[in-house]
Amino acid sequence: MDQINIVVGGPAGAGIESVAHSLALAFTREGLHAITSSEYENVIRGGHSFASVHAAEKPVQSHQLHYDLLIAMDKNSILLHKDEVDVGGAIIYDNEKIKVDDIEFPEGVVIAQVPLARLAKEAGLALAANVVAVGAALAILDWKQDAMQSVLETIFQRKGEEVVEINHKALAAGFTHVKENITHRIDKKLQGDETKRFLMSGNEAITLGCIRAGIKFLAAYPMTPGSTIMTTLAKEARNYDVVVIHAEDEIAAVNMAIGAGYAGIRAATSTSGGGMALMSEAMSLAGQMEVPVVIFNAQRPGPSTGLPTRTGQADLRMAMHSGQGDFPRLVVAVGDHEECVHLTAEAFNYAEKYQIPVILLTEKYLADQHRSCEFDIADNIAINRGKRIDHVNDPENFKRFADSPDGVSVRSVPGVKGGEHTATSYEHTEYGKAEEEVPGVALMMEKRWRKVESLTEALPPPKTYGEGDDIVVIWGATKNPALGAQQILHDKGFDIKILQLQYIHPFKTEAVLEKIAQRRSLIFIEGNQSGQLEGIFAENTGIRPDHSIRDYYGRPMTAEWIAEEIEKYLTSLT
C-alpha cells in the first residue's frame, strides 16, 4: 500500500505538532486516511520535538520511523532525522538560517532549500515559517494547496480574515518557491475517496466516548498526557451540559467524582500515573461504598515523574491493586481510537451496572495520536444504568446493599424518597449501618465478591486477530503496531495470531485459555520492564510465556520493530 510519510522536527514552541496536525487534517479532507505521532521533551520551548504524519488510501495501521519527507525547522532536526529519510525522499530546511557545511546528507535524498523565515516574514508573519514549510512540502509531494488552504481557514478564522490571509500567503510562498526552484517530486499517487471523515486524538476519542455515555461531571487535575481529556471536555461543557472542575488535586478530583456517582450522575476523573497513585485510597472507597466511577489514566513512563511526555505501559498492576483490601473493580485497556470511544462508554456502563470503580488505561502514544475517523465511530452505544430506582415501595425495609445473586443491589440516590440510607466506607449491614460481627461482615464481603464473578462472566472474551500457532499477547496501544507487524510477518511467511486483552482485571481465565489452547509458542509484548501482563497471565492461568518482548524506554513500538523481534524469535524456534 502506498503511503505518505512526513516528519517535521524542531524545538518545542516552533509549531511542530500543528504542522503534523494540519497536514493530517488536510489529507483527511482529501479523503485519505491519516495518523500522526509525536515526540516532545519535557520543556515548553526549545529542546527537540518531532511529529510525523502518515497518510494512505486505507486506514494506516501504525507510525513508522522512516519518511519520504523531513521538514527540519532547525539544524538539530536535520542531524537527528536525515538518515531516516528514504531514498527518493527529500529534506526541507531553511538554507538562510541553517549552515549545513558540516552535515553529510544521505545519498539519494533531495535537499530542498527553502528560505522559510524570510518567506514567512515577507508574507507578513515571522511565526509562520512552519506554514511556509507546509507549502513547500505540498509542492514536493506534487499535491494541491486547496485542502490545506481550507485547513488554515478553519484554524485561523477566529483570529480574523487578515491572519487567514497571511497564512495563505505563507503557504503559497513555500509552495511557489519549490515549484520554481526545485524539480524533484515525490509522487505517491494517492487518491482520496469521497467519504467525509474527521480527525481526532485518542484523548479526544475518550472525550467523545464520555459525551456519548452521558457524562455529567469530570473533576480532574492537569497531568500530561491525561490533561487533554479535561481540556477537551471543558471546552464542550456548555454544549453537552457537563460540569468540569479543575480540582485542587487528584484526591479531590476522584472524591468529587465518587460523590457525584453516589448522587446519581455519570462522573469521571482523568489523570496519569502519579495522579492515579494519589487516587488509591478513593478507589477502595468506591469499592466499599459500591459507587460507580470511571478513572482515566493516560500512562507515561515512571517510576515517579519519570518521562512526563513519553509513552509507556507500566501502570497496569497499580490499576489493579491500588487501594487497601480486596474489592471488585474493572481494569480496561484501550487499543485504538475506536476502542477509546466504545470502551469508554462501556466503562460507564460497567461502573453503573456493577457499582464499582472502573479504571481505563490509555497511554501517551494513543492519547496524543490523531487519526482520521469515520462518522459512525460513536454509533451503537447503548446506555445501561444498572439497578437504579426512582421510587421505593417499602421505605422501612429498603436495603441499599441487599444481598443478591449477582452481588449487585438496587440503588437509590439522594432525592429519591424512601431510599434514604448511609453509604459508608466502613463495613456495613445491608441497610448501610455499621457492622462488625462476623456473619454480617461475611455477608457483605461475599456479596461484593460475587460481583467479581458476575462481572467476569459478563465480560466479552479477549480479541484475537488472525490465525497461527505462535500467539502474540498484547494490551493497549500496542494493538496497531502489532497488527502492522502481523502483516509484515505474513508477507515474510510467518503467520501469527494476536491476542489482545482489553478487559484485564478481573481476568476471564477460561476464555483466555480457550484462545490459546492450540499453540506452538506464547509471546508477550509489553511496554514495561517487569512484564506486568505476563505476571497477571501466569497468576491466573499458571502459564508463563515462551518469549517476552519489552520496550520501556518511553517510545512507541513500531510495526517494523515488533516484526523484527518476533521474526528473530520464531526463526530461533525452527
Partner 1 sequence: MTTPETTLTAKDFSTPNAPSWCPGCGDFGILTSLKKALAEGGYEPHNTVVVSGIGCGSLLPYWVKTYGACTLHGRAIPFATGVKVANHDLNIVVNIGDGDGLGIGMGHFVHFFRRNFDMTVICDNNGVYGLTKGQTSPTAKKGTKTSSTPFGSIEDYVNGPALALQMGATFVARTYSADSPGLTEILKQAMAHRGAAFVDILQPCVTFNKQETYEFYNANIAKNPLETPICETRLDAINFCLTPHEQIPLGIIYKEDAPTYEDSVPQFAKGALRHQDITNIDASAFMHSRS
Residues that bind ligand TPP (CB under 6 A): 221-223, 250, 274-275, 278, 305
Give the shortest CB-450-to-ligand TPP separation in angstroms.
27
Give the shortest CB-273-to-ligand TPP separation in angstroms.
9
Look up residue 422 and give its amino acid: T
Q: Which residue has the cell 453503573?
A: 352
Alpha-carbon 56 to chain mean position = 21
Side-chain half-sphere exposure of 152, counting CA atoms within 13 A: 24
> Do the bridges between strand 470-475 and strand 503-505 make them parallel or antiparallel, or are there none, so unpaired?
unpaired
> Among residue numbers 230 through 259, which ones bind a second copy (CB under 8 A)?
251
> What pairs with residue 525 in β-bridges?
549
Distance CA 448, CA 145 (A): 60
Rank residues 269 and 500 by Cβ distance to ligand TPP and give the closer one: 269
Distance CA 274, CA 297 (A): 9
> Among residue numbers 81 through 140, which ones bind a second copy (CB under 8 A)?
none
Distance CA 311, CA 224 (A): 11
Sequential DSSP letters for 19-59: HHHHHHHHHHHTT-EEEEEEE--S-SSEEEEEEEEEEESS-
Residue 247 interacting partner from a second copy, ligand TPP, partner 1, none (CB closer than 5 to 8 Å by kind): partner 1
Phi–psi pair at 531, nearest 5 degrees: 70, 60
Look up residue 410 and give its amino acid: V
Give the shortest CB-303-to-ligand TPP separation in angstroms.
13
Rank residues 209 and 292 by Cβ distance to a second copy and give the closer one: 292
Give the shortest CB-234-to-partner 1 separation in angstroms.
5
Residue 423 interacting partner from a second copy, partner 1, ligand TPP, none (CB closer than 5 to 8 Å by kind): partner 1
Residue 326 interacting partner from a second copy, partner 1, ligand TPP, none (CB closer than 5 to 8 Å by kind): a second copy
Our finding on whether 150 is near a second copy (CB under 8 A) is: no
End-to-end CA distance of the chain: 30
Q: Tell which residue, 489, 413, 54, 433, has the closest CA to residue 258.
A: 413
Residue 255 interacting partner from ligand TPP, a second copy, partner 1, none (CB closer than 5 to 8 Å by kind): partner 1
Give the shortest CB-423-to-ligand TPP separation in angstroms.
16
Residue 504 interacting partner from ligand TPP, a second copy, partner 1, none (CB closer than 5 to 8 Å by kind): none
Residue 433 interacting partner from partner 1, a second copy, ligand TPP, none (CB closer than 5 to 8 Å by kind): partner 1
Q: What angle do CA 46, 47, 51 make, to 5 degrees?
A: 100
Our finding on whether 324 is near a second copy (CB under 8 A) is: yes
Distance CA 73, CA 40 (A): 14
Lookup: cell for 435? 457492622
What is the x/- site pattern for a second copy, positions 478-517, by CB under 8 A? ----------------------------------------
What is the x/- site pattern for a second copy, positions 529-558, by CB under 8 A? xx-x--xx-xxx-xxx-------xxxx---
Our finding on whether 442 is near a second copy (CB under 8 A) is: yes
Give the shortest CB-305-to-ligand TPP separation in angstroms.
6
Rank residues 108 and 395 by Cβ distance to partner 1 and give the closer one: 395
Lookup: cell for 68? 519520504
Distance CA 462, CA 475 (A): 10
Distance CA 148, CA 53 (A): 14
Residue 325 interacting partner from ligand TPP, a second copy, partner 1, none (CB closer than 5 to 8 Å by kind): a second copy
Distance CA 46, CA 10 (A): 8
Coil, strand or helix: which one is 214? coil
Rank residues 375 and 449 by Cβ distance to a second copy and give the closer one: 449
Residue 280 interacting partner from partner 1, ligand TPP, a second copy, none (CB closer than 5 to 8 Å by kind): a second copy
Rank residues 91 and 444 by Cβ distance to partner 1 and give the closer one: 444
Our finding on whether 564 is near a second copy (CB under 8 A) is: no
Residue 66 interacting partner from a second copy, ligand TPP, partner 1, none (CB closer than 5 to 8 Å by kind): none
Give the shortest CB-58-to-a second copy separation in angstroms.
31
Lookup: cell for 558? 513500531
Side-chain half-sphere exposure of 463, counting CA atoms within 13 A: 14
Near a second copy by CB under 8 A: residue from 5, 167, 284, 558: 284
Near a second copy by CB under 8 A: residue from 183, 239, 304, 572: 304
Write the secondary structure of 401-412 as one string of H (helix), E (strand) and C (coil): CCCCCCCCCCEC
Distance CA 467, CA 496 (A): 6
Phi-psi region of 320 (alpha: psi -120 to 50; beta: other; left: phi over 0): alpha
Residues that bind a second copy (CB under 8 A): 41-42, 251, 272-274, 276-278, 280-281, 284-285, 287-289, 301-308, 310, 312, 314-315, 317-318, 320-327, 424-427, 434, 436, 438, 441-442, 445, 448-449, 528-530, 532, 535-536, 538-540, 542-544, 552-555
